[in-house]
Amino acid sequence: MMIVELIDHEDFRERLVALGVQISEHACADTCARMALRKHVEVGVPGLQELVRELVMHSDILLPSVRQALDKYLLPGLR
């Protein structure tokens, strides 16, 4: 049996922090997405578009809250 680890808000936050976005430790997926978009608009976040593209391609392993945050904030904001 294959076990797949789902991407939750903590994984999402860690990936954004690795790109240089400052996000508090207990932030929800919506807050993570909003903070990433804000920084992207203000100064740019190298690698953010690639991360979002990768996450969307693997949407089958995203928790619904992460997928909703991507759909609500980052996908429209990065177009």
Tell me, what's the pLDDT at 44?
Answer: 95
State the pLDDT confidence band at 79, using cuts at 50, 70 and 90.
confident
Give pLDDT tens digits for 32-75: 999 999 999 999 999 999 999 999 999 899 999 999 999 999 99
User: What is the rounded distance in angstroms from the CA atom of residue 1 to the CA atom of residue 31?
Assistant: 35
CA distance to 2, 14, 25, per residue, from 71 (Å): 28, 19, 22
